[in-house]
Structure 1
């Protein structure tokens, strides 16, 4: 191997390793977004006598339920709790107004929903391949091999960034909804459809 070839190989390898690190960080960002989002999609309306401590405690319990979850488990929960087309479950406690309701994500069609879920599941498969199988399956001997892997990783990064951006927008909408629903008058209307 010529010196120029070894430099090209070293440069291609270095660039690929950087992108691997970037993609791992993007996947971690996706996990953090889901861990912030999932506890907040369940909205609780409280009786007037309930204290803010009750509200904080409920949210903290929901947060602790997702903290140790893997990306695959988070995506499964997201699909089950947010993308479900069934009517959201309403659970009433004996208190005057203490309801739990899950905010669902709207889709134009069931095909849109299925495409969204398939994209998320593919991200999990791609992440698992990146972490557990990339170097076991790829033959990386030449600069061209490294460049090919780099190109695949670039495409992967674009997909992760797109989903992260989409989920961040949804998270912002959920935060606005939660803020509005902290007003007892609004929650009474939303949960009981009363004037």
Structure 2
């Protein structure tokens, strides 16, 4: 923390911004925790709704082959919406916890999520090489050509990265609005 004595010519707003502005790791971390918790909660609710509606993952092979693209697009859009809502809320929490630079706090939430995801992927690959985890798990197979699946996966990954980045940034800006309103009222 930077502490200094105010002089008569200093602007109080710039002093507050210098003192309390910038990136706040604590706010970004707690915003990320909110984003993760909300992702789990919303994904659980979406799964419960899908189960109540009678959507089953045990679809006949011929039906899967006919409508695999439709099922994949619906699932991808649902996942994107869940992640964007969660990262918006995480950015909001981080922006609300910090007085200034709400957008920067939202970007911090996204960055922590990106780093945590990268670590999880690397650990998954390492443990798969050592313990052959993926062969022990009965994962569903998708009857789609690999090149089609790869391009669709890259498009979905780009949508998730950009969507969560924008949502976290906007959430941080919205969280900062509270402090901006208070500053306008008390000025």
TM-score tier by shorter-chain length is 0.3 to 0.5
Q: Name the structure with the higher helix share.
A: 2
When normalised by structure 1's length, the TM-score is 0.31
When normalised by structure 2's length, the TM-score is 0.32
Q: Name the structure with the higher strand share.
A: 1
